[in-house]
Amino acid sequence: MATNLKEGYIESSRETTKRYCQYIKLNLKTLEQYKYWHDSDNIWKEIPEGIRKAGILNMEIYVIRDHAFMIVETPPDFDWDAAFGRLATFERQAEWEDFVSKFQAGGVGKRSEEKWQLMERIFSLELPKRPLLETLFSRQLPINKSQILPKGIK
């Protein structure tokens, strides 16, 4: 499964989607097993079927040392809680979560959404470019310029 990481991963273009990112801490002693079971040749067929049935368009997992990072792409009207609630009821999903939990730090006995932590996006090349102060003050946040600007800048 390993490849030259500097070659990147080709993605086909899609319509407008929502993207969620999340991470989980893994057990380093079982990392190779975790990667083995997530390989498309080894994953139980019911798992990607259930993920698609829940309304998820694409899901990718990346690993670095003892952390896994997941990207989930969905339609714009996707309801995270409802979809993952349904997913947990689909064939073999709970069994899969129990099975992979031994590879995840602190994951035993928990559902997927209880183990994976959603992440905040802090940067995007595609977001509209608005000056920081305009963005902050347009939201009418109780922020004083002196609280965020370096000393000597007005």
**Could you report the per-residue pLDDT of 136-146, keeping only the tens digit for each?**
555 555 556 56
For the stretch 98-124, pLDDT in tens is 999 999 997 787 777 788 999 999 998
The pLDDT assigned to 57 comes to 95
In a domain, 1, yes or no: no
In a domain, 135, yes or no: no
Residue 131 falls within a domain, yes or no? no
Residue 50 has pLDDT above 70, yes or no: yes
Average pLDDT, the chain: 85
More confident residue, 108 or 73: 73
User: Is residue 151 included in any domain, yes or no?
Assistant: no
Domain that holds residue 85: 14-121
Overall domain count for the chain: 1
Q: What is the dihedral of CA 139, 143, 144, 150, to 10 degrees?
A: -100
Instruction: Classify residue 148: in a domain, yes or no.
Output: no
Higher local confidence (pLDDT), 1 or 87: 87
Residue 39 has pLDDT above 80, yes or no: yes
Return the pLDDT at 152. 62
CATH classification at residue 28: 3.30.70.1090
Which of the pair, 6 or 116, is modelled with greater confidence? 116
Which run of H or of E encompasses 116? none
The answer as to whether 127 is a domain residue is: no
Q: What's the half-sphere exposure (Cβ side, CA atoms, 13 Å) at 24? A: 25
Is 8 within a domain? no
Whether residue 36 is contained in a domain is answered as: yes
Residue 44, pLDDT > 70, answer yes
